Structure 1
Amino acid sequence: MVQPIGMFDSGFGGLTVARAVIDLLPHEDLVYIGDTGRYPYGNKPAAEVQRFAHEIATSLVNDFDVKLIVVACNTAASVALEQLKETLPVPVVSVIEPGVSALVQTTRNKRVGVIGTVGTIDSGAYEHAVGAADASVSLVSAACPGLVEFVERGQTSGPEVTLLAQRLLAPIVDAGVDSLLLGCTHYPYLARVISDVMGPDVVLVSSGDETAFAVKKMLEVAELQEDTDRVGEHSFYSSGDPEWFAHLGRRLFGPELSDAQSWIVK
């Protein structure tokens, strides 16, 4: 019996991770839940985000029989990862550690930046992860409220986005970093704007590809991988409007997201 990989995010951002996983593991089934009915997570209390994460992860296990869960939301990972690992009967992969691993390997001057939601930055998860990965690296972080909302509306460029990015990224620019981790899975959709603000000498690091490699490794270690000669099936769910999720998701993700179904909190 084929068991899918489960993945969730507050909305569309985690689709950047889903894209990387599907490209690397086309033979695996995947179930994705976007909690668009309750987004954004970044400005919500940690306890509330923990509850949301537990509800979705439990549903993925009980309702979809997933074999592994990817927390494709930096905010949820920063406040709920350890709780999920302790309570769920399946392996759990976060986007934080893979992204940090790529970040510390990319920097040349040992000055790096990370941007994320208020909840992610306030959690201190990235300071802890960078310190554990390479204590010699100096990290500057900045919360970027408002960017997620632009992506969720399908607005990934334009003067409004640019002006907000310039204001929010100013501390990172002033710090002289040479590498910037996009600490929210929504932000790769804004990569062109962010890159223009940061300048050509700063490398943008996204956690999508590294997370996909982490998923592949964990499946291999646990001997949970599917036969490589099959074609995986992909299902997408939204706690909000599934028609809007499919419409915008298809534009952001690609033709594999042909439709979405409704996911209801139990």
Structure 2
Amino acid sequence: MERRPIGIFDSGVGGLTVLKAIRDRYPDEDFVYFGDTARVPYGTKSERTIIKYSLENARLLRKFNVKLIVVACNTSSSYALDILKRELDVPVIGVVRPGAVAAVKATRTGNIGVIGTEATVKSGAYRREILSINPFIKVFQKPCPLFVPLIEEGWLEDRVTYMVAERYLSELKGKNIDTLVLGCTHYPLLKNVIGKVCNNITLVDSAEETAIETGKFLGGEVKGNGEVRILVSDMSRRFKKIAEMIMGESFPVEEVSVDVC
């Protein structure tokens, strides 16, 4: 039987947190990951551009005969998921719904905070998904647009990053939230910083729930050690360094052009 990989894309390095969670759960599977590092961040782009980039990324992954696509980008999931599902001939999974499910499971007070890119917060996707699960929950949202460039810069524990986190998160802490959704797959890389700023607040990222959702589309027929192929639209040493930190091991990184679609 032909081995077909799982395709995953993100605007940059953050989606590797989703790849890691899925691979840890399904180590026999093959993966092709694409990080659109030449066009990161997506969170400040228009809806039209986000959809365009998402379609191009998905079509690039289809060149590798993937059996399903995981949209490991909250911004793309918020705006392009339904379009991708209509346009593609393979299953497509987003990260917003799994993150919302995890947050509802975690909260005890019913006060949930959501942080994300400007586009993700503006879309209201997390609020809609959370309220569709439990309409009595209060959802407080806050865009944190500087987090992605700080992460892509590699400033994961920098003093500036702590200052930015304090500035962004003080408003949400004043809402007495007990659960905070990291509504961007880059944000788990700042868990140490966010955790110290938001003491005694449960941090939720969608990676593990997305891995569980992915399993629903896998037949379990693949055996043997899976392979991982990592592609980017712009090569940088910083990407390789952060990728190795996330994955816990080193993988070759290839530069490709999205124009092949």
TM bin (shorter chain): over 0.9
Q: Which residue of 2 aligns with 1:38?
A: 39
**How many angstroms does 1:132 deviate by?**
0.6
Alpha carbons 2:228, 2:251 under 8 Å: kept:
no
With normalisation by structure 2, the TM-score equals 0.96
Q: Which residue of 1 aligns with 2:208?
A: 209
With normalisation by structure 1, the TM-score equals 0.94
- Measured in 1, the distance between the counterparts of 2:205 and 2:165 equals 17
**How many angstroms does 1:64 deviate by?**
0.3
Structure 1 residue 12 corresponds to structure 2 residue 46: no
Structure 1 residue 265 corresponds to structure 2 residue 244: no
**How many angstroms does 1:133 deviate by?**
1.1
Alpha carbons 2:229, 2:251 under 8 Å: kept:
no
Deviations 1:23-79 (A, max 9, x none): 000000000000000000010111101100000101111x10000000000011101
- Measured in 1, the distance between the counterparts of 2:18 and 2:201 equals 22
**How many angstroms does 1:244 deviate by?**
4.3
SS of 2:217 mapped into structure 1: helix
Deviations 1:208-235 (A, max 9, x none): 111001001122xxx4x433x3110000
Structure 1 residue 76 corresponds to structure 2 residue 76: yes
Structure 1 residue 218 corresponds to structure 2 residue 217: yes
Number of positions where the alignment pairs a residue of Structure 1 with one of Structure 2 = 258
SS of 2:258 mapped into structure 1: coil
Alpha carbons 1:102, 1:210 under 8 Å: kept:
yes
Structure 1 residue 250 corresponds to structure 2 residue 244: yes
Aligned pairs for 1:129-148 within 5 A: 129-148=129-148
Deviations 1:155-208 (A, max 9, x none): 101210011001111221000000111000011110011011111x21101111
**How many angstroms does 1:106 deviate by?**
0.7
Alpha carbons 1:3, 1:67 under 8 Å: kept:
yes
Alpha carbons 2:111, 2:176 under 8 Å: kept:
yes
Query: RMSD of aligned C-alpha atoms?
Result: 1.1
> Structure 1: 5+ residue runs without aligned partners?
none
1:239 to 209, 227, 233: 233
**How many angstroms does 1:243 deviate by?**
4.7
Q: Output the amino acid matched with 1:84.
A: L
- Deviating beyond 6 angstroms after TM superposition, the runs of 4 or more aligned structure 1 residues are none
- Measured in 1, the distance between the counterparts of 2:60 and 2:221 equals 22
SS of 1:42 mapped into structure 2: coil
Aligned pairs for 1:165-184 within 5 A: 165-184=165-184
Deviates more, 1:128-137 or 1:5-14: 128-137
SS of 1:64 mapped into structure 2: coil
> Structure 2: 5+ residue runs without aligned partners?
none
Deviations 1:97-119 (A, max 9, x none): 01100100110010111100001
- Measured in 1, the distance between the counterparts of 2:100 and 2:196 equals 22
Alpha carbons 2:153, 2:238 under 8 Å: kept:
no
- Measured in 1, the distance between the counterparts of 2:86 and 2:255 equals 28
Alpha carbons 1:2, 1:226 under 8 Å: kept:
no
Q: Which residue of 2 aligns with 1:190?
A: 190
**How many angstroms does 1:252 deviate by?**
3.0
- Measured in 2, the distance between the counterparts of 1:121 and 1:164 equals 18
SS of 1:128 mapped into structure 2: helix
SS of 1:261 mapped into structure 2: strand
Q: Which residue of 1 aligns with 2:49?
A: 48
Alpha carbons 2:130, 2:137 under 8 Å: kept:
yes
Q: Output the amino acid matched with 2:191.
A: A
- Measured in 2, the distance between the counterparts of 1:183 and 1:60 equals 24
